[in-house]
Amino acid sequence: MSEPRRRLPHGVYDDGVDPDVRFSLANERTYLAWVRTGLALVAGAVAVHSPVLDLGPVVGTLLSAWLLLLAATCVGQGWWRWQRTERALRRTGHLPGFGGGLAFGLGVGTLVLGVTVATLLALL
């Protein structure tokens, strides 16, 4: 009988025992939700930088860069959280805390404030 194939990433799957598949798949769905959110932020960065909104080259570039930074942070946070949660499930330990939501909320709030100010200034 052959040895089972090792799954990637080894640092996660070589740790502990396989948890109930429902929990592992729920963790994966949460990670994919973070990736979808990051993709939506990239689409927003393209939209903000487009000439249709006419926010000006400096404001459009700044808002677009902020959205891209949020997108990268979102995907990175999703991956980091997936790994920590999967390890906790495999070790039957406590699930990790979640401070990423607060940081992400503050980033989006800052973005909303920036877009509102830029839009109001463009109307003047």
Query: Taking the domains of the chain in order of start, what are their residue ranges?
Result: 17-123
Q: pTM of the entire structure?
A: 0.80
**Mean of the pLDDT values across residues 19-35?**
93
Q: Report pLDDT for 33.
A: 94
Mean pLDDT of the chain: 86
In a 10 Å sphere around its CB, with 0-12 CB exposed, 13-18 middle and 19+ buried, how is residue 124 labelled?
exposed
Q: Convert the pLDDT of each residue in 76-97 to its tens digit.
A: 999 999 999 999 999 988 988 8
Q: How far apart are CA 55 and CA 50, in angstroms?
A: 9
**Mean of the pLDDT values across residues 17-26?**
92
User: Which residue do the tokens 């070790």 mark?
Assistant: 91
